[in-house]
């Protein structure tokens, strides 16, 4: 009886995969045709931009007031470490409660952080412990936001348009990241840090306000979602891992997210001044800015091109191959001594990064058990975002020993080896089943 159920489950998963992969003719930007998704997308883009603006202004003021590399390092750690520690817990909350309210709570924390910075700047009373508290709260706000936001994407766009929705959301976040530094710099010059931070509070308002009565979430679901019982603490991590242990697609895509973030992540962005200097541009000029923006430009191009032409549908093997190509681009950038080639490789890496990350997240959402989808997304976020805290070791600290070119090249080679292993895992054929 147990064998029969296992076979039935295998057939069900196989049929689901085939149904997802053999969708009807492509419609460009299909998710935007779903009521409410364009408003959600625009609000998320603004919130992402406000997040980036806060970084621009607060990091500048921290540098000006304290000149502390340790505090600057804590700013990075406080951004990623909460994802590692609390993503599963946040995903469990999104399973149990209305994700709209959890996102709003995250937005409220973001707004309180900007308000706190603004008041401290106006009164000129900023101390190190103030900065530590605000940076920590800001990091926690991101953890509340991420799993619930992804769960709501599923509710709004639906299964058939999920890949389109995830790619568009990734593109919106990229636009926010691109626009944030530019807008933040302009606000810093035009209004000064105190007023700039207070204005930034208002940029979070559209998404927060729209979510108040948006007709999405569990209260509007056609099929009620019953959340699984949680065990609390790190027990939830192991419980979620056990629950998905037999799900090849979710396991492989989660491992892929963990490996890319742990081994490479985005740590090379922090080393960009040294790469720029070695390419002959050791000043903060246009060429340096282009290197910083190249990844985001490639990601934006990926969102537009893939959505317009319906390329690269969500398949596990395709996601792994894209990671392999990404690792090759990163490795080639590490050893390149030609500026134009380095710029082109970073653009290509940004394109591939958005393509494989959107594909992996889509597959995880599609194949996660419904009653623990939030927790599974929390585990995915823990791997994809939280593991980036360690890429500073594999690229940054190792670079202090062997040089950043060698550390990044070796990290890319390691990523390529891991990707080959995951590809072999995906291509491994199931043992033939005995005749019934």
* 246-277 tens-digit pLDDT: 888 999 999 999 999 999 987 787 677 788 88
- In the chain, domain spans: 28-220, 233-429
Res. 225: pLDDT tops 60: no
Residues 408, 268 contacting (CB under 8 angstroms): yes
Query: 63, 48, 11, 70: which is closest to 145 by C-alpha?
Result: 48
Res. 234 pLDDT band, cuts 50 70 90: low
Higher pLDDT, 284 or 308: 308
Res. 61 pLDDT band, cuts 50 70 90: confident
Provide the mean pLDDT of the chain: 83
In angstroms, the CA 321 to CA 416 distance is 10
Res. 65 pLDDT band, cuts 50 70 90: confident
State in Å, rounded, how far the first CA of the chain is from the last one.
12
Q: What is the pLDDT of residue 178?
A: 66
Name the fold adopted by 28-220: Growth Hormone; Chain: A; (1.20.1250)
Could you read off the pLDDT of 158-213 as tens digits, one per residue?
888 888 888 888 888 877 876 777 788 788 888 999 999 999 999 999 999 999 98
Rg (CA), the chain: 22
Least confident of 161-170, 225-234, 319-328: 225-234
In terms of pTM, does the model score above 0.85? Answer: no
Q: What is the pLDDT of residue 398?
A: 78
Name the fold adopted by 233-429: Growth Hormone; Chain: A; (1.20.1250)
Which of 17-31, 110-124, 279-293, 296-310 has the largest mean confidence? 110-124
Give the number of other CB atoms < 10 A from CB of residue 221.
Answer: 11
Which residues touch 390 (CB under 8 Å, ≥6 apart)? 261, 262, 265
Which residues touch 394 (CB under 8 Å, ≥6 apart)? 262, 263, 264, 267, 407, 411, 414
How many angstroms separate the Cα of 416 from the Cα of each of 39, 266, 395? 39, 16, 15
Res. 328: pLDDT tops 90: yes
């Amino acid at each position: 009886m147990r064998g029969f159920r296992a076979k039935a489950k295998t057939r069900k998963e196989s049929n689901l995969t085939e149904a997802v992969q053999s969708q009807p003719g492509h419609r460009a930007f299909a998710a935007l045709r779903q009521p409410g998704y364009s408003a959600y997308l625009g609000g998320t883009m603004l919130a992402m931009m406000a997040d980036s603006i806060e970084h621009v202004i607060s990091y500048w003021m921290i540098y000006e007031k304290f000149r502390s590399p340790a505090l600057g390092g804590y700013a990075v750690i406080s951004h990623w470490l909460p994802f590692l520690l609390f993503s599963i817990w946040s995903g469990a909350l999104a399973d149990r409660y209305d994700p709209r309210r959890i996102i709003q709570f995250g937005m409220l924390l973001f707004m309180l952080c900007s308000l706190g910075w603004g008041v401290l700047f106006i009164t000129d009373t900023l101390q190190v412990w103030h900065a530590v508290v605000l940076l920590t709260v800001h990091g926690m706000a991101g953890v509340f936001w991420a799993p619930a936001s992804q769960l709501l994407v599923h509710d709004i766009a639906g299964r058939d348009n999920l890949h389109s929705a995830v790619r568009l959301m990734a593109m919106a976040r990229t636009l926010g990241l691109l626009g944030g530094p530019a807008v933040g710099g302009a606000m810093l010059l035009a209004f000064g840090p105190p007023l700039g931070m207070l204005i930034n509070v208002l940029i979070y308002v559209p998404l927060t306000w729209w979510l108040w009565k948006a007709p999405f979430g569990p209260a509007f679901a056609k099929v009620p979602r019953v959340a699984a019982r949680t065990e609390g603490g790190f027990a939830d991590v192991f419980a979620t891992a056990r629950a998905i242990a037999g799900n090849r697609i979710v396991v492989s895509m989660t491992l892929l997210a963990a490996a890319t973030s742990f081994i490479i992540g985005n740590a090379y962005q922090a080393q960009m001044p040294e790469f720029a200097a070695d390419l002959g541009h050791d000043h903060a000029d246009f060429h340096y800015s282009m290197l910083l923006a190249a990844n985001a430009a490639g990601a934006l191009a990926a969102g537009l091109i893939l959505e317009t032409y319906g390329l690269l549908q969500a398949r596990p093997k395709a996601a792994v191959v894209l990671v392999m190509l990404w690792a090759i681009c990163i490795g080639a950038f590490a050893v390149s001594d030609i500026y134009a080639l380095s710029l082109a490789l970073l653009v290509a890496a940004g394109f591939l990064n958005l393509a494989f990350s959107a594909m992996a997240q889509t597959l995880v959402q599609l194949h996660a058990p419904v009653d623990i989808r939030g927790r599974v997304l929390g585990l995915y976020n823990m791997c994809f975002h939280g593991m980036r805290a360690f890429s500073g070791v594999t690229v940054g600290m190792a670079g202090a020993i062997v040089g950043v070119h060698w550390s990044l090249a070796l990290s890319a080679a390691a990523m390529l080896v891991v990707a080959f292993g995951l590809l072999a895992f995906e291509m491994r054929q199931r043992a033939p089943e005995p005749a019934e």
